[in-house]
Amino acid sequence: MTTDERDLGRSLKLLWGGRTRPGRGRPPALSLERIVAAAIEVADELALTEGFEALSMRAIAQRLGVGTMSLYRYVPGKSELLDLMLDHVMDVPDETGGPDRGWREILSAAARQHWRLCLDHPWYPFVDQSRPLLGPRSMLGLDRLLALLRPSGIDDRTLLMMISVQNDHVESVARRYVNERRVERRTGVTTEEFWAAQAPTLEKAMNSGDYPVMADLADDTFDFSYEQLFEFGLARLHDGFAAHVDL
């Protein structure tokens, strides 16, 4: 068995209810649940300062006030802990709503829920999930979303591709937004201050005649927020879905 296969097995065991038993001796003050909660807190903070890559078992242990090695009595390593964190923060779609809800309304609600997840836990959109492990909450979330969408009559394969493309849009815009927030915290310079500092140089460039189209842009051309960018992209994405599924 390769190292990757061992890690996969450990992660799946933990996600689906397996627990590492503490060694004998004094009853431990820790629990796997406390470790996961602390890891999420630390990751939330680091994502807006040093970046998600700075998350370490040592930083988590410091938050809990314990030695780093004590964490390994409950979880084999950072990789397996990250799998637990991802599943823990996963939102499960609300099953409420009338049976006449269309796929567009259902997907829009799911996208906005995903958007809030990415902003509440700004490390989330930076995790490589090219080979995601589906834990109980992740599986339940996908199961419920598909259950809501299937009455639309769209085939399962197309539904899953629609969900995947939508998730890519949400996380892409969220990454840009989080990066901007992190730069502001790191430098102490707001986005408005950053562009204001460039204004004299940009104005000179626009007046040079070398950039006629840029110089002729409407005053509000760049006046939109990341939330507006997210909503605009989501609507256009769904327009494209509609053109396809209504053929």
Residue 201: inside a domain: yes
Asked if residue 3 has pLDDT above 50, the reply is: no
Q: Which domain holds residue 111?
A: 103-245
Amino acid at position 232, single letter? F
Instruction: Examine the domain organization and report whether 84 and 110 are in the same domain.
Output: no
Instruction: Examine the domain organization and report whether 228 and 161 are in the same domain.
Output: yes
Instruction: Examine the domain organization and report whether 207 and 130 are in the same domain.
Output: yes
pLDDT computed for residue 233 by the predictor: 98
For residue range 169-220, what is the model confidence (pLDDT) as tens digits?
A: 999 999 999 999 999 998 999 999 999 999 999 999 999 999 999 999 999 9
Task: For residues 104-124, give the mean pLDDT.
Answer: 96
CA distance 107 to 224: 23
CA distance 230 to 228: 5
For residue range 10-46, what is the model confidence (pLDDT) as tens digits?
A: 666 777 775 555 555 444 578 999 999 999 999 999 9
Residue 209: inside a domain: yes
Average pLDDT over the chain reads 88
The pTM assigned to this predicted structure is: 0.86
φ, ψ dihedrals at 205, nearest 5°? -65, -40
Residue 162: inside a domain: yes
For residue range 221-242, what is the model confidence (pLDDT) as tens digits?
A: 999 999 999 999 999 999 999 9
Domain end call among 60, 89, 118: 89
- The H-or-E segment that residue 196 falls in is helix 191-206
Domain count, the chain: 2
pLDDT computed for residue 2 by the predictor: 39
pLDDT computed for residue 1 by the predictor: 34
Instruction: Examine the domain organization and report whether 203 and 110 are in the same domain.
Output: yes
> Which of the listed ranges 11-25, 65-79, 131-145 does the model predict with the highest average pLDDT?
65-79
Cβ contacts of residue 58 below 8 Å, gap of 6+? 68
